[in-house]
Chains A and B, each alone.
Chain A
């Protein structure tokens, strides 16, 4: 790895660490309903929403009511996007006159955006009008992230409250996290991005003269159509809310979405900002910040080596290049290594860090094409998703997923010290184990079974009219990786695409849609059930016989649990995909 790579990584982690604490403490105030500083400016809006919706903000909810509210709100959201997408041909703000989408694409996209996955089977600029982008997708970018924060807040309350029957009010959590956390941050980021050249307009697409004419399929071409749109406003929340659905098809590799190294840095920071800060929020809310740092430390202990792994894999490139006479040695004039599928303005370091961050968090936006990574460089992002999106993970959802792993780790560790396991003074018993097991079980089941269904045939080819087309751009083990990646992405609500797989056809749209739905909502319900069960429990004060959960030893235990579960579940599948690819690549 070059010195530049190390500096880029250090800069990124340094900025993240510096921002986590202030933002985390601020979010804790927002979620605890305390004055946060923006009440003066936005309080009227909060109360206006409650009055308009007929919500009593003082009304506390039990976990079942809370779960019902989450589900009702999200199902309504799915229905709304579905309708907007199907009907967009008849809706305004559609200068290109794009038609309504097919039912399977509308279903897939609706579930995708409501579930904070933002898997995109379509190309943004060729499929969606501005109204669909804004009303359908941007709105969900906000509220799906807010849903994640709300469920996390409910879980934390379950840990904090004693002998209580309620875990908060979903509507209040939803409104407050949107209004006081996501909106202000997005506004600041959007303005910063616009200043760097990210576009924000309602113009029709523009045709411009090419600086240098090129030949496309033998025809000399002199003009190019540039897609326009309200990009910055959607881009900011796409990064901050771990959504990742690009305005344009190539996502953050597009010059209008990510024009400069500075925007790249800001967008990269925005991917992990809220998930990292929420660890601190967790610590503050449970009354022991060390608990939050321990969880954050566990995430970093996994994240940093894996990120370095991607950087190393990409920098060392592909042995076959030498035989082709290509120069892949890093120098002042070139990044070296494997630059296929990467933007020259970002190079290896910033592409690799992004790939790692976007898959660690359930963001899924890309600034390079993961399909073109070296086998190991592609394995790591895939595995980061398969770990269950708990290394930062989605806004809220990453931390509540990680806390489920903490419950399992505490259970095994607690047994090893000879006590009924406790986490933060709450006893972990059969019910919690049942629910935590579900949370860990469901995503991997959908990934593995979904991949199995796809590779026995239905996911390998599809027909358009009379014509049979292959879904896979690549044969062999790499093709397997492409399918596995798609399922891993959908089954863990990440949304990033390996590319190389044609997924906009009914089979994948439905399979991935179902996986995304299950991975999101079948996890939220058991999580809330645990919150309710923990809230009812008494608090057992710690003693010398209690396992401390803020010390490095517990971090090791938590990291081992996450890695072991992830490895044991996916080693065979990975062996048949990227591992074989790698071995074939390095074997003479």
Chain B
């Protein structure tokens, strides 16, 4: 996954310090109760602590040292889980703090009427309500989210996006929304406030990244149910072991029943504490990774849904192709030299400031060595593009040079008494079929040839799409082009499907059709006319540069306004689920080794023959139990980085991914504890601790 600019070190000392303090604060039983697995450990810790004191006072079933040892490590287990969650939250908080620093309570100029020049009064930003009108002038901070109703200004949004280049915000159109906390650099804006205090985009972002309002996502709930069920199973397994052991003692006529301390130790080792302890950290870290990719998800649910996306709707322009078409070839009519065509084309485009026009000048210069001339020396008159003539060009030294779409040029020539040859018409047709836009160049009554304008497909995008295909995601290109052009570009970019001559209605219909087929659809959008489709899509990423309506309709906002970000978003969603799955598998697989450690130890006095199951050759029953408990606690801390970073996702298809993860986390989970417990046991034995 491509990492974004804002990544911070995994263990920032400041965050770690705060997390350590938070780990203790989180011992509040009400907070523990939220997680059934860790609550069980919590109760076990209290119980064993009590037993330790009981043993001190009256001499219990086990030595107080052993009981307190177990108890201490159970407390560590709880604290480590708290620490993992606090770390994830801390990283979010750090992000929130940097956001919050941009939100000072500024003085706003509240307008009596929503127009420029109306009288205004000073008001605190925190007193602004929805639909208030405000004036923001150059150098001032925009006090709240809003919609530009009048004016054009350049705005520095780096506080939100991290992008230093200013952006233009103007009334009407798709660039009308402004975010509180950004700064107007030039000119002025009249803004209609769209959010009440505490509900602004920034506020929502802060509360989301802080995890304060985090709700469990559907998948997390399902996993929690499974973990709770496993916890109940092990609770029953351990509690019934007491009567079983009592029977065994009576039957064997030797030894003493299993002690409560050992039972609690066994229980904590068996219940899925690894995943239970890291589950909430994984969820928070998923949101955090989204934020690091400069995407604000409105809910954890949306992040999770991103992993399930089956269909990506991508706008052609800006996502698949570079924003603009470029001239790539001059195709002269028969009897016209290509240099003559290039020269005419360049002359016609000299005053054309559109990117297409500039690309004609550049092509003529690069390919035919024609330098841009100073047209003022030639008494040139420029003919700008108008909606009526639909051509542009130049009148120079008595020559009338025009360029434009075929039918417009045909009309121009006809006015001068000429006509276009069939051969040239065929050229035009051919260019269109290739996905290009043909511009015909004419001089007087004669068509000189065709400029081939091409949509330039972004480098590497084809590879990206085939990667998506391997992930099982279908890509659909949305374009306003005609089907002919769309087909050619779709083929070049390697998308699976396209929607040509797309209207907002057609987009909405397409999304609904995919959804009716049971597929999950993701799309990006920025304009107000995208809002219905954004609202309908399962994962809808609004560009931060887009309108307020688009942002409201989406469930994520991309601060970088980068349409290819969707791919990254999908990967983050998948990572989130994979991390949960991998750690669940690891956690359950761990139990096998723990049985081999604890069962022989627990019944050492009743059935000494069970020591044959002590395959790890652990030193003594008490060191065996200690080692299992210590391993169980330490593994949580060791896996915190994995929980925060996430299991890496590779686009290799589901079967391969499962095989690899099963080998690493399943087989690994089976083997690692054998090694770990043995090592800890050797350490304990060497220190003479037990």
Contact = CB atoms under 8 A, between A and B. Distances in A.
Given A452-B244, A543-B472, A568-B591, A418 B251 contact: no
Interface in B649-685: 649, 653-655, 657-659, 661-662, 665-666
Interface of A: 162, 408, 411-420, 425, 428-430, 432-434, 437-438, 440-441, 444-445, 448-449, 451-453, 455-456, 475-477, 479-480, 538-541, 543-548, 551, 553, 556-557, 560, 564-565, 567-569, 571-573, 575-576, 579-580, 583-584, 587
Interface stretch (B121-129, B199-207, B214-222): B214-222
Given A567-B592, A575-B603, A584 B229 contact: no
Interface string B218-238: 110111011011001110111
Nearest to B311: A543
A553 B659 contact: yes
Given A420-B219, A575-B610, A576-B607, 13 more contacts: A413-B662, A480-B248, A544-B653, A545-B473, A547-B654, A553-B658, A564-B591, A568-B591, A569-B237, A572-B595, A572-B599, A580-B248, A580-B607
Given A419-B577, A575-B599, A576-B244, A444 B654 contact: no
Given A415-B577, A440-B229, A583-B610, A455 B588 contact: no
A543 B218 contact: no
Contacts of A411: 222-223, 226
B254 to A, nearest CB: 12
A430 B662 CA distance: 23
A430 B518 CA distance: 19
B314 to A, nearest CB: 17
A416 B610 contact: no
Given A545-B471, A548-B654, A564-B588, A572 B237 contact: yes
Nearest to B232: A441
Nearest to A571: B595
Contacts of A538: 518
B633 interface: no
A425 B472 CA distance: 14
A139 B421 CA distance: 92
B229 A441 contact: yes
Contacts of B666: 560
6 contacts: A415-B223, A417-B578, A428-B222, A480-B248, A545-B654, A583-B612
B315 interface: no
B240 interface: yes
Contacts of B582: 415-416
B65 interface: no
B657 A417 contact: yes
B589 to A, nearest CB: 7
Nearest to A416: B581
B308 A433 contact: no
B251 A477 contact: yes
A440 B472 CA distance: 32
B443 interface: no
Nearest to B307: A418
Contacts of A572: 237-238, 241, 244, 595, 599
Q: Which of B239, B244, B580, B599 has the most CB of A within 10 A?
A: B244
A425 B595 CA distance: 37
A448 B609 contact: no
B225 A430 contact: yes
B469 interface: yes
Interface residues of B, number: 77
A578 to B, nearest CB: 12
B187 to A, nearest CB: 47
Contacts of B226: 408, 411-412, 433, 437
Contacts of B242: 452
B243 A452 contact: yes
Contacts of B234: 568
B81 interface: no
Contacts of A543: 310, 472-474
B628 to A, nearest CB: 14
B585 interface: yes
B674 to A, nearest CB: 15
Contacts of B577: 414-415, 418-420
A563 B238 CA distance: 19
B246 interface: yes
Contacts of B610: 575, 579-580, 583
A575 B581 CA distance: 30
Given A416-B658, A452-B244, A441 B665 contact: no
A480 B251 contact: yes
A560 B520 CA distance: 31
B570 to A, nearest CB: 9
B607 A545 contact: no
B321 interface: no
A576 B257 CA distance: 12
A557 B229 contact: no
A581 B361 CA distance: 93
Contacts of A428: 222
A567 B310 CA distance: 37
Contact of B580 (A415, A438, A539): A415
Nearest to B581: A415
Contacts of B232: 441, 445
**The 5 A-B residue pairs with the shortest CB-CB distance in the complex, in nearest-first order:** A545-B472, A415-B581, A418-B574, A543-B472, A437-B229
Q: Which of A415, A476, A580 has the most CB of B within 10 A?
A: A415
Interface in B122-167: none
Interface in B580-600: 580-582, 584-585, 588-589, 591-592, 595, 599
